Amino acid sequence: MKPFLKWAGSKYKIVKRIRESLPRARRLIEPFAGSGAVFLNTSYEEYLIADTNADLINLFKQVQKGGDDFIDYASALFVPSTNTENAYYALREEFNATDDLVRKSALFIYLNRHCFNGLCRYNSKGGFNVPFGRYSSPSFPVKEVHHFAEKSQAATFLLCSFLDTMASAKDGDVVYCDPPYAPLSATSNFTSYTQDGFGDKQQEQLAIAAQKLMNRGIPVIVSNHDTAFTRAIYASASIEAFEVQRFIASDGGKRGKAAELLASFV
């Protein structure tokens, strides 16, 4: 089942490849929640899904708790009168100002489906700042949200750093990491979807944490771009290299294939 969120770097298109690389375990831990594509398309007894994006984790909790009532509430935002530039910017401003977590979650889905390319991006003050997408008739993803609500009953969602999340792993767990990717070039780095950056230091910290878990007998699978840098920091892992199609880029003509890898610390 597809995730209900559009998401830069979503793993839905390669989830079969990822699933085949994941060992059997009781619980799957994901320190980088993203759209939840891997969570939604695997069959573990339990899940621990974490992220540092508070809006994302709140949304997942609201879907988990609210079910059909939340779906009815959020889908009411998907009407012709809200699919205008003025309405979009008014609702974006409301999203950035409100403290009502249910309202904020409904607005998150609205913004995701109406904004440019489905991007999730914040300014330095923490405000969502993606422009209007100008789509003809965005629809509310009813089936996808309903499936997420059902699947989430086996999940715990945490607002937590990747290092703290990985440190919580124990026997019977497997960890899948989908961090912000190392750039393919100096000019290709994607603007962070939280206020916290994710540079070379964090990439190296992730690799070290994965190695430590492997040494404890806890397998870790990591997705990233296939570069000299990632090959170096994943030197102790088994590498599976492949190419994937880009689906989000500001210039449609640049949506070509990119070299990726799966690093298995097993």
CATH of 65-144, one of 1.10.1020.10, 3.10.129.10, 2.40.50.100, 3.50.50.60: 1.10.1020.10
Span(s) in the chain for CATH 3.40.50.150: 12-52+160-265
Give pLDDT tens digits for 9-52: 899 999 999 999 999 999 999 999 999 999 999 999 999 999 99
Q: Is the pLDDT of residue 99 over 70?
A: yes
Within a 10 A sphere around the Cβ of 80, how many other Cβ atoms?
Answer: 8
Give pLDDT tens digits for 55-82: 999 999 999 999 999 999 999 999 999 9
Q: Is the pLDDT of residue 242 over 90?
A: yes
255: pLDDT confidence band, cut at 50, 70 and 90? Answer: low
- The predicted pLDDT at position 185 comes to 77
Span(s) in the chain for CATH 1.10.1020.10: 65-144
pTM beyond cutoff 0.85: yes
Q: What is the mean pLDDT of residues 165-177?
A: 98
Q: Is the pLDDT of residue 187 over 90?
A: no
247: pLDDT confidence band, cut at 50, 70 and 90? Answer: low
- The predicted pLDDT at position 44 comes to 98
- The predicted pLDDT at position 257 comes to 87
**In the CATH hierarchy, which fold is given to the domain comprising 12-52+160-265?**
Rossmann fold (3.40.50)
* 46-51: strand order across its sheet: 155-159, 46-51, 27-30, 173-177, 220-225, 257-265, 238-245
User: In sequence order, which residues have a C-beta less than 8 Å from that of residue 259 and are 6 or more positions away?
Assistant: 184, 225, 226, 227, 241, 242, 243
Task: State in Å, rounded, how far the first CA of the chain is from the last one.
Answer: 27
